[in-house]
A and B are shown apart, each in its own frame.
Chain A
Amino acid sequence: MTYFTEANARTAAEVIANYPRPRSAIIPLLHLAQEQEGWVTRDAMVEIAELTGATPAEILGTGSFYEMFKFHPVGRYVVNVCTNISCQLLGGEELLHHVEESLGVHAGGTTDDGMFTVEDVECVAACTEAPCFTVNYRYFHRADPDTFDAVVDDLRSGRSPLARGAQGDDGHVPAHGTLGRLRQHVPDDRRAGVVPPEEAGEAPVWLRPAPATAGDSDG
């Protein structure tokens, strides 16, 4: 039984190849599993364990430490409202209250239609732009209840709300699980190559006696 789709299995192999030890790919692969299904299933953990040489229990052990991984289904859009100090000072808790009231769920809950999960979160690094919330980790700065209502309207109507974000992000908001809409790809002919810790030979070539010479350096 395989969990990952053919395309995602290729991505998984590429991700693992980026690390000197496959276990380092556990967190990236948990993200990939979440991208495929919106949350991390048991089958996903079994397959990630096989791919990284860990046990399924170890995958759960690692994954459950991190807030972004969901081990049960969540809404298509996960709304994170920051209530930490900078946002609290400017109405973050009131904003969370509005979000809960208007969607009819408490923080931690998901709307009946499976569209929205609400979370009361810690600082998301937008402190000067308080209060703020994110939808699937896309930022909305200096938000008030009207901003939130408009974003919900957009999403329910199939429009992108990102123009209401204040940071030059555009395009669409992907469904929960897809973090980056594109990935790093290292072409084989450009790859320097991972150096496993066991192969602790000598210093890298540019540190050996003759110094590197820059092609077009004038400095």
Chain B
Amino acid sequence: MAEPTTVHPAGMDYVPHAAGFVANEGPKLLTSRFPYEDSYTLDRALATGAYVGLKSALGRAPDDVHAEVREATLLGRGGAGFPAGVKWGFCPEGVWPRYLVVNGDESEPGTYKDRLLMERDPHQLIEGCLIACYALGLSQCFLYVRGEMALAQERLATALNDAYAAGYVGRNICDTDFSVDITLHWGAGAYIVGEETALIESLEGNRGMPRLKPPYFPAAIGLYGKPTIVNNVETLANLPWILEHGAAAYKGYGSEASPGTRLFAISGHVVRPGVYEVEQGVTTFRNLFYGDNFCRGIRDGNDLKAFIPGGASAPWFFEEQLDLPIEARDVGAAGSMLGSGAMVVMDHTTDIVKACLRVVRFFARESCGKCSPCREGTSWEEKILERILDGHGRPADLDLLLDIGENISPGPYPVAAHGSEGLDAVPFPPRQTTICPLGPSSVAPITSALRRFRSEFEARITRRDSLSVQAAPVAEGAPA
């Protein structure tokens, strides 16, 4: 493996106290406070417009607030990209109480944005939670934060204590009859808990295993069997801006189908990796990876080999997909997803078999074990890739890997078009024989890498001479 050679992004636009965030040019709807070193304090938040969106919401009827969010076409930022305003509408009429569960269990490999939002601007998230609770009549909010994020927990605890004392959370918020508690809840380390029904199970004190569907949305039957809205941290963090400036202004950013901005974490072999706030739909992967305002190219002038456009669960893209717009619909049609806003760039020095194994191993380790195809399949995949990497692969292993994938996700698996081979894209999402998408996600690196780089896997299998014991060559003329 090559020595790490990325350039440390020192300079004016690198914000040392918000490590990873790059304050580049472009609209900043979510990260406007990040450049302030004390951005997480109530004083700084109030001095820079915090809780203005909440007060605007409280001056309107709850239904109006819901309508404004629906009008803004705020797409969920957790991975699935479902419109929040529509999801909110799935609460059955007349069933009370209703709850809000905030999904802060950010764990998708490659994803780094919710942690920053919680550490750098906890009041923005709290304000977003309050707006959602007011609009939908939610009686209590549970802020489920990934256990490993100690600083985020501390910043949110402090922010909540301050906000309670200042009258922004709790009883009679801003001297109105709107009252709601926000309860900070620590997770304890489990990727699967990011799945919303598993999140609810965990919050009820159980093992974090996804629930059988239907019902598809916890808005119908959720926490304690009651209507429950589950929203991602970044989704809720958009609400203060939308309520302060209005849906029309929000739609002035991004594209018609995907308004506003998103945080993208771009990691791997780029010159300036970082977390960027990006207008959706109006730029391309090429601009994000090579543009001067973003990642400034592949390290050492190397060639691009592959990239993951939306977290470890996303099928991989290649050179041919660089000019796609950063738009959920287009990326889905091209065979992958923007997912949780996580792009991982691999240059030509990358050992594809090793990278593939590492992503598969993640799913094998994180499978909750509820569904057999996933529990058994992911560990088979891991075991087979391990033996290929160790030089003990068998000729039938590559087809066996695809066959296991077929058992977890039947039918054509989503893949990118492969120009030189004349192969078309299979659109996202994959089908599944499992309750949740974790198992099917493990197939993504396998089909992506095998379709494109099959020869690299075959080379590992056939190049066995270094491991086998061979007789020394017999010298010519030697006695028999």
Name A's B-contacting residues (CB within 8 A): 18-21, 23-28, 30-31, 52, 54, 61-63, 65-69, 80, 83-86, 88-91, 93-94, 122-131, 134, 136-139, 141-142, 144, 166-169, 179-187, 189-195, 197, 199-207, 211-219
- A84 near B157 with CB under 8 A, answer no
Given A195-B140, A204-B96, is A28 in contact with B18 using a C-beta cutoff of 8 Å? no
For the complex, give the distance between the alpha carbons of A129 and B176 in Å.
44
Q: Can you pick out 17 interface pairs between chain A and chain B where the beta carbons lie within 8 Å of each other?
A: A27-B187, A28-B186, A67-B190, A68-B148, A89-B268, A125-B106, A141-B19, A179-B186, A181-B154, A182-B158, A189-B171, A192-B180, A197-B225, A206-B177, A211-B60, A212-B134, A214-B174
Report which of A66, A184, A190 forms a contact with B208, defined as CB distance below 8 A.
A66
Across-interface contacts of A18 in B (CB, < 8 A): 181, 183
A185 CB to closest chain B CB (Å) equals 6
- B181 near A191 with CB under 8 A, answer yes
Report which of B8, B139, B190 forms a contact with A204, defined as CB distance below 8 A.
B139
For the complex, give the distance between the alpha carbons of A83 and B16 in Å.
24
- B107 near A206 with CB under 8 A, answer no
- A123 near B161 with CB under 8 A, answer no
Residues from 173 to 212 in B contacting A, C-beta threshold 8 Å: 174-181, 183-191, 202-208
Residues from 384 to 398 in B contacting A, C-beta threshold 8 Å: none
Q: Chain B CB within 10 Å — which of A127, A183, A200, A202 has the most?
A: A127
Across-interface contacts of A219 in B (CB, < 8 A): 52, 55-56, 59, 243-244
- Chain B's closest residue to A206 (CB) is B178
Report which of A129, A179, A192 forms a contact with B150, defined as CB distance below 8 A.
A179
For the complex, give the distance between the alpha carbons of A15 and B424 in Å.
54
For the complex, give the distance between the alpha carbons of A177 and B327 in Å.
42
Report which of B17, B188, B266 forms a contact with A66, defined as CB distance below 8 A.
B188
Across-interface contacts of B243 in A (CB, < 8 A): 219
- A28 near B97 with CB under 8 A, answer no
Report which of B140, B161, B269 forms a contact with A89, defined as CB distance below 8 A.
B269
- B346 near A89 with CB under 8 A, answer yes
- The bracket for how many chain B residues form the interface is 35 or more
Across-interface contacts of A86 in B (CB, < 8 A): 109-110, 267-268, 344
For the complex, give the distance between the alpha carbons of A86 and B267 in Å.
6
- A128 near B148 with CB under 8 A, answer no
- B97 near A66 with CB under 8 A, answer no
For the complex, give the distance between the alpha carbons of A201 and B98 in Å.
11
- B112 near A206 with CB under 8 A, answer no
A186 CB to closest chain B CB (Å) equals 6
- B110 near A207 with CB under 8 A, answer no
For the complex, give the distance between the alpha carbons of A12 and B70 in Å.
40
Across-interface contacts of A216 in B (CB, < 8 A): 55, 174
- Chain B's closest residue to A93 (CB) is B1
Across-interface contacts of B204 in A (CB, < 8 A): 21, 23-24
For the complex, give the distance between the alpha carbons of A67 and B344 in Å.
25
Does B265 have its Cβ within 8 Å of any Cβ on chain A? yes
A77 CB to closest chain B CB (Å) equals 13
Across-interface contacts of B151 in A (CB, < 8 A): 138-139, 167, 169
For the complex, give the distance between the alpha carbons of A134 and B151 in Å.
12
Report which of B18, B111, B174, B244 forms a contact with A168, defined as CB distance below 8 A.
B18
Given A20-B140, A28-B185, A86-B344, is A62 in contact with B205 using a C-beta cutoff of 8 Å? yes
A201 CB to closest chain B CB (Å) equals 6
For the complex, give the distance between the alpha carbons of A29 and B106 in Å.
22
Name B's A-contacting residues (CB within 8 A): 1, 3-4, 6, 8, 16-20, 37, 52, 55-56, 58-62, 95-97, 106-112, 114-115, 119, 134, 137, 139-140, 146-151, 153-154, 156-158, 160-161, 164-165, 167, 169-171, 174-181, 183-191, 202-208, 223-226, 243-244, 265-269, 273-275, 308, 312, 342, 344, 346, 350, 354-355, 358-359, 362, 365-366, 368
- B146 near A94 with CB under 8 A, answer no
- A123 near B185 with CB under 8 A, answer no
B421 CB to closest chain A CB (Å) equals 25
Q: A86-B267, A91-B1 are in contact. List 10 more A-B contacts (CB 8 A).
A: A18-B181, A28-B186, A65-B208, A65-B368, A93-B1, A125-B106, A127-B110, A129-B112, A187-B164, A212-B177
Report which of A84, A136, A167, A200 forms a contact with B17, defined as CB distance below 8 A.
A167
- A186 near B170 with CB under 8 A, answer yes
B222 CB to closest chain A CB (Å) equals 10
- Chain A's closest residue to B96 (CB) is A200
For the complex, give the distance between the alpha carbons of A111 and B342 in Å.
35
For the complex, give the distance between the alpha carbons of A215 and B176 in Å.
7
- A85 near B344 with CB under 8 A, answer yes
- A21 near B224 with CB under 8 A, answer yes
For the complex, give the distance between the alpha carbons of A68 and B266 in Å.
27
Report which of A24, A65, A136, A215 forms a contact with B207, defined as CB distance below 8 A.
A65
Across-interface contacts of B224 in A (CB, < 8 A): 20-21, 197
For the complex, give the distance between the alpha carbons of A205 and B137 in Å.
9
- B59 near A213 with CB under 8 A, answer yes
Across-interface contacts of A31 in B (CB, < 8 A): 147, 186, 188
For the complex, give the distance between the alpha carbons of A168 and B38 in Å.
10
- B181 near A194 with CB under 8 A, answer yes
